[in-house]
């Protein structure tokens, strides 16, 4: 059960390791690996038998009951082939004898219609169905034949033609039978007309036709594909409950996936519990969706627990499954665990794919670990996996963020040499790269080049250019760019306002900040998490701590749940002033809110103790970080070096610098400056024991 797995996962200590548990089991209770590869996993078998959904299964049983031989397909096609040929040549059927085709059983007609749809001859199938309907050739229900043709048209995107077919059936004085109604709803859902499928669902009820599990599965899948709001899916579920529908395993699995894609992990876990308590087994897609959404939500322990439960249910993880867990660890900067997942992939005899490498490159890049990112990038090419535009863009972003903008340009040239044309995303990064390095002119040239190459600029492009203008301190040009952006057909987003507010606030122009906050309200752009985080950060950096705290309270009152970033912004405000107790208080509040500890927050605690001159406490946080499995980055080490310098432990700085390099962190300019300063101070000053507080010299340096 999911609940049992989650309870087990919650007991895992911060020192837990994964490699042994990730190794594929030598034997599983059931079924065999071959059975799984053949699609015979226990969950599939149980869900299929419990659902009783297959309409095709109904007429297969029917034809067996009537004593059909093993050559049914050939017999069926041979019996109807003359009619098909006549329809293809003449577009109509003209029988030579009234007795012709009287003895063709219904299942053979259905087989012929299905075969015609499969070979993309839906127009012939429709003509044949119309003839069968007009001549009253079906001895039983017309439901399945009509649903077959509707489904065939649906696969070709011909929704309007599907409605024409259905209108023929409506002329019989009734609405629609269940299979045809479901096929029509699926036609709408499959082709992006979800609202129309919801209208059809309502029509079913109005005509007294009870929607079944198949109906709702189609609806849920359509809503998921269309990325509709989770509230829509919740309303559909409430309708199922009101109708007292006996929900089957397939539908529960669809609800799990829909909730996960809608980034609602708690709702997805709720449906997982309902599925299992009903005696059904989750499908692999449900496990995968849960791992992904839990990882996206930072709930790595639960994601790992679901991964283990998936294996316990007889599913052998493929590369995509491992990637889902890899993404969870990489997103939180838990690189040791991420590397263990990579080891597990290799031990399972699987190959890392483009996604696997991309996740590692992205994680190392965000952590500022240039050497590891470059090693992964090289390994990827050595393995014959060609980097895509996304991976090149992440490498470009990494060099941009570490101030090595020329290497970012080098990556662009390499990408072009590999025959990968720069896309809009790459150009946006390039504008941002130039902008962040104060090269507004170069950013403008790239901006103009996009137009000359007919690459449509989007709101991200304009946001990057506005930020480049802010970086160049051309604040007077911001209103003009803001206006031109709207003239180009792009409405400013919350991110646009966040960029402007952040830079104007950092420049101390609070009057303009207030004007853009008012403009935001006038346009109906809702303040998001980043807006509140930006304001908290600005208030904090200005020493307006009470306003920062009030901003967090306003955020909660507006219904926006404070994220890790908001707590980090508030902690940073206290850390800059060395207000350790307040920073630790924010950390505790974050944990109370259910947000897991992360690298950024722990770095801020280290900085708070560093500014306060409490380097032993700073190293205590560093040790705690290691125990929690969170990999330190260049910021961690640089902040600790600052703590040592402030604590006059100059001789320990080179040791820490060497540890940083050996851990794979690429020192930045600030780290090198601190090393030089520590060495200089150490050489200039003769270390005196009495200059160290009593009892401190005997204590460990971390």
pLDDT in tens, 245-265: 999 999 999 999 999 998 889
Greatest mean pLDDT range, 56-60, 132-136, 382-386, 434-438: 382-386
Whether 199 shows a pLDDT value over 50: the answer reads: yes
Structural domain span for residue 208? 105-246
Whether 16 shows a pLDDT value over 60: the answer reads: no
Whether 454 shows a pLDDT value over 70: the answer reads: yes
Whether 695 shows a pLDDT value over 50: the answer reads: no
What is the mean pLDDT of the segment spanning 429-456?
87
Whether 661 shows a pLDDT value over 60: the answer reads: yes
What is the mean pLDDT of the segment spanning 223-245?
88
Q: Is residue 640 part of a domain?
A: no
Q: Is residue 597 part of a domain?
A: no
Whether 17 shows a pLDDT value over 60: the answer reads: no
pLDDT at res. 566:
87
Q: Is residue 144 part of a domain?
A: yes
Percent of the chain at pLDDT exceeding 90: 25
Whether 35 shows a pLDDT value over 50: the answer reads: no
With beta carbons less than 8 A apart as the criterion, state whether 306 and 5 touch.
Answer: yes
pLDDT at res. 171:
63
pLDDT at res. 685:
62
pTM reported for the whole predicted model: 0.59
Burial 201-218 (b: 16+ CB within 10 A, else e): beebeeeebebbbbbbbb
pLDDT at res. 379:
93
What is the mean pLDDT of the segment spanning 12-27?
30
pLDDT at res. 50:
42
Whether 506 shows a pLDDT value over 70: the answer reads: yes
With beta carbons less than 8 A apart as the criterion, state whether 475 and 504 touch.
Answer: yes
Neighbours of 460 (CB within 10 A): 19
Q: Is residue 197 part of a domain?
A: yes
What is the mean pLDDT of the segment spanning 416-439?
87
* CA gap 133, 146 in Å, rounded: 9
With beta carbons less than 8 A apart as the criterion, state whether 620 and 602 touch.
Answer: no
What is the mean pLDDT of the segment spanning 435-459?
87
Q: Is residue 354 part of a domain?
A: no
Q: Is residue 449 part of a domain?
A: no
Q: Which long-range contacts (CB under 8 A, 24 or more apart) does 52-55 make?
A: 52/248, 53/213, 53/214, 53/248, 53/250, 55/144, 55/147, 55/179
Whether 575 shows a pLDDT value over 50: the answer reads: yes
Whether 8 shows a pLDDT value over 50: the answer reads: no
Q: Is residue 100 part of a domain?
A: no
Whether 125 shows a pLDDT value over 60: the answer reads: yes
Whether 574 shows a pLDDT value over 50: the answer reads: yes
Number of domains, the chain: 1
Whether 74 shows a pLDDT value over 80: the answer reads: no
Q: Is residue 171 part of a domain?
A: yes
Write the CATH number for 183.
Answer: 1.25.40.10
pLDDT at res. 622:
93
Whether 537 shows a pLDDT value over 60: the answer reads: yes
Q: What is the largest CA-CA distance in the chain?
A: 119
Compute the C-alpha angle 405/410/411, nearest 5°.
95
Q: How far is CA 124 from CA 89, 101, 110, 136, in A?
A: 10, 18, 13, 18
């Amino acid at each position: 059960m999911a609940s049992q797995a989650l309870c087990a996962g919650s007991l895992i200590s911060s020192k837990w390791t994964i490699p042994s548990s990730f190794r594929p089991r030598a034997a599983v209770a059931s079924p065999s690996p071959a059975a799984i590869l053949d699609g015979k996993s226990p969950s599939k078998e149980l869900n299929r038998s419990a659902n009783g959904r297959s309409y095709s299964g109904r007429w297969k049983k029917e034809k067996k009951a009537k004593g059909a031989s093993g050559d049914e397909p050939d017999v069926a096609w041979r019996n109807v082939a003359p009619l098909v040929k006549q329809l293809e040549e003449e577009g109509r059927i003209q029988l030579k004898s009234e007795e012709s085709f009287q003895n063709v059983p219904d299942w053979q007609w259905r087989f012929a219609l299905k075969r015609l749809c499969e070979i993309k001859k839906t127009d012939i199938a429709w003509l044949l169905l119309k003839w069968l309907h007009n001549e009253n050739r079906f001895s039983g229900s017309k439901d399945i034949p009509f649903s077959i043709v509707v489904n065939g048209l649906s696969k070709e995107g011909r929704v309007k033609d599907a409605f024409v077919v259905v209108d023929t059936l409506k002329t019989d004085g009734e609405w629609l039978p269940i299979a045809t109604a479901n096929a029509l709803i699926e036609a709408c859902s499959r082709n992006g007309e979800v609202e129309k499928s919801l209208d059809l669902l309502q029509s079913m009820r109005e005509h007294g036709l009870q929607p079944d599990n198949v109906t709702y599965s189609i609806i849920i899948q359509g809503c998921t594909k269309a990325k509709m709001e989770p509230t829509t899916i919740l309303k559909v579920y409430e309708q199922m409950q009101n109708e007292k529908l006996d929900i089957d395993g397939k539908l529960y699995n669809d609800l799990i996936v829909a909730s996960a894609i809608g980034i609602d992990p708690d709702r997805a876990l709720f449906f997982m519990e309902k599925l299992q308590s009903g005696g059904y087994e989750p499908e692999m897609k449900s496990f995968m969706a849960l791992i992904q959404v839990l990882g996206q939500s930072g709930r790595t322990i639960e994601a790992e627990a679901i991964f283990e439960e998936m294996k316990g249910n007889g599913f052998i993880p493929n590369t995509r499954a491992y990637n889902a867990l890899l993404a969870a660890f990489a997103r939180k900067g838990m690189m040791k665990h991420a590397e263990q997942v990579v080891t597990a992939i290799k031990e399972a005899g699987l190959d890392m794919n483009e996604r696997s490498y991309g996740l590692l490159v992205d994680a190392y890049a965000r952590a500022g670990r240039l050497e590891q990112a470059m090693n992964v990038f090289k390994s990827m090419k050595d393995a014959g996996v060609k980097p895509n535009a996304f991976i090149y863009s992440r490498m470009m972003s990494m060099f941009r963020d570490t101030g090595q903008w020329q290497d970012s340009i080098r990556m662009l040239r390499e990408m072009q040499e590999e025959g990968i044309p720069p896309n809009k995303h790459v150009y946006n990064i390039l504008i941002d790269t130039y902008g962040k390095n104060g090269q507004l002119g170069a950013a403008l040239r790239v901006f103009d080049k996009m137009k000359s190459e007919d690459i449509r600029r989007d709101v991200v492009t304009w946001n990057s250019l506005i930020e480049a203008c802010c970086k160049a301190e051309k604040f007077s040009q911001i209103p003009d760019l803001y206006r031109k952006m709207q003239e180009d057909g792009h409405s400013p987003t919350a991110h646009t306002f966040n960029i402007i507010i952040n830079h104007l606030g950092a420049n101390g122009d609070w009057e303009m900040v207030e004007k853009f906050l008012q403009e935001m309200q006038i346009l109906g752009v809702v303040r998001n998490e980043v807006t509140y985080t930006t304001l908290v950060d600005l208030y904090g950096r200005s020493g307006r701590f009470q306003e920062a705290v009030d901003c967090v309270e306003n955020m909660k009152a507006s219904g926006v749940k404070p994220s890790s970033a908001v707590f980090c912004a508030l902690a940073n405000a206290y850390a800059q002033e060395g207000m350790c107790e307040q920073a630790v208080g924010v950390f505790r509040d974050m944990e109370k809110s259910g947000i897991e500890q992360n690298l950024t927050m722990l770095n801020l605690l280290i900085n708070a103790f560093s500014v306060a001159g409490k380097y032993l406490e700073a190293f205590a946080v560093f040790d705690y970080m290691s125990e929690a499995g969170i990999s330190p980055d260049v910021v961690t080490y640089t902040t600790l070096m600052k703590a040592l310098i402030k604590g006059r432990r100059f001789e320990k700085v080179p040791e820490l610098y060497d540890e940083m390099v050996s851990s794979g962190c690429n020192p930045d300019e600030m780290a090198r400056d601190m090393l030089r300063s520590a060495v200089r101070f150490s050489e200039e000053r003769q270390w005196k024991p009495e200059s160290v507080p009593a009892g401190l010299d005997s204590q460990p340096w971390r």
